[in-house]
Each structure stands twice: as C-alpha cells, then as structure tokens.
Structure 1
Amino acid sequence: MLINQNTVKAFETSLDLIMSRVQDLKHSIGSFILKLEHEHQMLNWPSVLDSFALLSSQINMLNKVLKGDKTPSLRNMVLLPLELSLDRDEDLEKLTEGRVPVFNHDVVPNYLRTKPEPEIESKNQQRKNIAAQITPELAQKQINSLNKITGRLLDHLNTAKEDWETDSSSSRLNMTTDNRADTQSLVGTIALGKGIKQVRQQTQPTPSQAVMQQPRHVDQHIHKPQSTVRTHIRPGSSVHPYNRT
C-alpha cells in the first residue's frame, strides 16, 4: 500500500493527538485508582460520580478524534516490527514508562496483536451466542420486570425519605431550647441581684490600726509612780525606830 507525503503528515498529526488524549485518560484513571486505594474511607458518592464523568468525557473526546474526518483509518494500516533485539532498549523503556524494556519475540505477539487471546475470544463468542438466543419478546419481558423492580425500590426510598423528613421536622418543633423559670431567674439576678448573697470582706488592719487596737498593759517596772515621802537616816544611829527593847 503506497502512502503519499500528505497522508503520512496527517497520520503523524492524528497520532500525536491520539497519544495526548490517551495520556489524559491514563492520568485520570490512575488518579481514580489512587483515590479508591488511599481515600476509600473518606470517599463519597458525588466524588465517584465526578471521576466517572471525567473518564466518560475523555473517552468521548478520544472517540471523536478516532472517528474524525482528519484522522486516517487505522484499520487500513498494518504495523510490522522492523527489528527485534534481545538487548535492553533505554529509549523504548522510557517511552513505555518501564513496561517494555526489551522488544523481543515474547513481547511482539502481545503488543502487536489485532485480536484477543483465543481463550478470551472463545468466552466472548459464547456470550454472543447466549445473547442471540434471547427473543425480542423475552427481552421485553425482562426489561419490564427490571423496570418494576426499579420502580418499587424507588417507591421505598421515597417513602423512607418522606418519613425521615417528617420525623425530623416534628422533632425540631417539639424541641424546647429554653426554660422560662430559669430565664426569669437569670434576668432577676443580673438586673436586681436576686439570689446573690452579700459577703463582707474581712480586711486586715493596717500597722497603725494594729498598734491602736493592742491592749494597754501597765508595766510596773517602767510606769511605777515614785513616792513623794522622803526618809533620812542619820549616820551613826543604830537604833531601829520600831525596836521595842
């Protein structure tokens, strides 16, 4: 199959765009896997839905690129290995992020195959045969049964939601957050001082007051009054005035 220069250029441009879309999709899938592994305890359903929505939009963008008018039909092109080697290829390892260090005979059948493995292909064929045996009438019956089950489940969920909202509203209405007696008592205490005992503070006396309050003790040795009677003993007299002899 001969390919002109314009086709080769268009193929290279489309291939770069496809690789960019695939890298974005790969990054989103890796982030989602890390979130499931490390943040599963704090993970909620809206966050999971956001991750699925991002993956879905990126897959749609990739499909638009593959089905675009400017993208050559990849089905019409055949990829053949030009060289196989048992030696380690650093460029190939870097390009494949360490997944394919060597491009040898064991790697080529897995990476360049255009059909799934025989076991997987056999299982897919069995599923297709089972699906082909279902008649349109039986398929419609199964769809109706599934719709009934889904409708009943939705009715139960809506009933439980209404009951929960009713119980919550009634509990909020019956809930009292104040006590009138306690409120009046608190207002009386703040405004009029009701219920507050007056406690006299015992102040310690100052040093001068302590001296004034001390009892006055008479010191006989210091404050003893002196007698005004004077006695005079004449020298040479040995007679005692009260001697009766």
Structure 2
Amino acid sequence: MDREEKQLEAVVDALIHRVSDLKNSLQTFIMRLENDYESISWTQFIDSYVVFSAQIHNLMKIVKNDKTPPLRSRVLFPLLLSPDIDEELMKLTEGRVQSFNHDMVPDYLRTKPELEIESKESAIVSKACNLSADQSQKQMTSANKIVNNMTELVKNCREEWETETNRQNQTQTSLMSDTTTLIAAITFGKGLKAMTTSMKASQPPVLSSVAPTPGPQRAGAGKAPATIKTNIKAAANIHPYGR
C-alpha cells in the first residue's frame, strides 16, 4: 500500500467518525423534538444547532485539508450485485439497506441529481442568469429586508421568552392574598379587633403629678378667701354720700 492509499484510508476513517458523530447528534435532537417538545427550551434548541454547526465545520476541515487526497478523482463502483439479504450490509447501514441489488445501485451510487431535478435546477440557473443588474439588486434588497425582519422578530420573541422565564424562576417573596388583607386592614380597619375590658384593667394606673390640697382648702374650693369677703362687706356698708 503506497502513501496516497494510506492517506486516503486515514481520511475515510476520519470522515466516517465525524459523520457518525453528526448522525448521533441529529438522532438525539430529533428524538428530543418528538418526545420532549413541550419542555425543550429555546436555549437548548440553539445549543443543538451550535453543535451541528461545529461538527459540520470539523467535517469540512478534513475535506478541505491540503493533505487530503482529491476525493473527486476516486471512482466507486460495485463489485457484486445480489438480491439476497446481506447481514454485513444491514449491520453497516443499521438496517436501512438489506441487499445491494440493481434497484439500490442507482439511488446509492448516484453522483448526479435525477433528470427531473436536474432540469428544474437548469431552469432556475438560466432564469437567474437572464436577470439584469437592477432586478438582481432589487431582489437582493427585498430578500435582505425579509431576512432582517424575521431576525428581528425572532430576537424579540427570544427576549420576551427569556424575560418570562426569568420572572417564573424568581423566588416568590410575597402572597397576593396577604397583601390584599394588609391593605384592607390599614385602609378600612378590616379584621382588626377592639381592645377588651380585661386588657384595660390590666394596665397600671396613671400617677398624677399634682399634689393634694389640705382638707379645709378642699372644702372651700371655688370660693374667695375670708379676708376678701370681709373687705367687700365693709366697703358695702359705707354710704357713697357720706364720704
């Protein structure tokens, strides 16, 4: 085995490994979409696409590597066609292909699209080539506008979803029922109880700072002193014209 064949074998093994990783990631993602579509989040959805993009990038790095032999110059052709079931082929294809017969060869070894698809592609290419520069620019502007609008829509939906998710994940520190009860108690006194008689009796008596007056003075409270009375009477006995 020469050097080029060894490189080709190593490249094919690396490609098989990368394609297998990509296939497993796609299978896991499709399974989650089918079974956990209600609980899958937007961030998990984006993370899965990031993984796909990284795996495809690694796959293309192997294909575009300078040390990779030109795969386009290699020709693959079947050595044996048989209608019988091939167990090894079933194992390699995970049960998708049971036998390598004349019906399978055109589909699995085709290097060009089908005639119908090829004719449609040729019509699209010829139509694109016949467009003028102004028409092409208008269509590009329209397509960019649509893409920008869709990007903005997705961005807004993502921000709303993240805000709603953060609001739901926040720890609840209050209850609406308790808040309503507290407002009603402060505003209208609803639910508050009056002070009972037993609570009033248990309170200590309030001491007065005014000193008690003597007994005789207490009896004559509200009356003028005796000396003042005497003087008033004496003044009343004097006749105004007898001065």
TM bracket (short chain): 0.5 to 0.7
Map 1:1-245 onto structure 2 (within 5 A). 5-147=2-144, 154=152, 177=179, 178-179=182-183, 181-182=185-186, 195=195
Deviations, residues 141-183 of structure 1 (Å, cap 9, x unaligned): 233345556667859x97xx99xx9xxxxxxxxx994438449
State the TM-score, normalizing by the size of structure 1.
Answer: 0.60
Paired residue total: 177
4+ runs deviating over 6 angstroms: 150-153
Partner Cα distance (2:121, 2:53) in 1: 24
State the 1:10 CA deviation.
Answer: 0.8
Query: TM-score scaled to structure 2, two decimals?
Result: 0.60
Helix, strand or coil: the match of 2:65? coil
For 2:49 and 2:99, the matched residues in 1 are separated by 35
Unaligned runs of at least 5 residues, structure 2: 164-175, 199-243
Q: Which runs of 5+ in 1 are unaligned?
A: 166-174, 199-245
What letter is aligned with 2:66? D
Q: Say which structure is richer in helix.
A: 2
Identity across aligned pairs (percent)? Answer: 44
* Farther-moved stretch of structure 1 (92-101 vs 32-41): 32-41
Letter matched to residue 45 of structure 1: W
Q: How far apart in 2 are the matches of 1:11 and 1:132? A: 38
SS at match of 1:31: helix
Larger radius of gyration between Structure 1 and Structure 2: 1
Q: Is residue 84–residue 105 contact of structure 1 (8 Å, CA) maintained in 2?
A: yes
The alignment yields a C-alpha RMSD, in angstroms, of: 3.6
Deviations 1:68-117 (A, max 9, x none): 12211110011121122222211111011111111122112211111111
Structure 1 residues 105 and 48: alpha-carbon distance in aligned structure 2, compared to 1, 3 A threshold: same
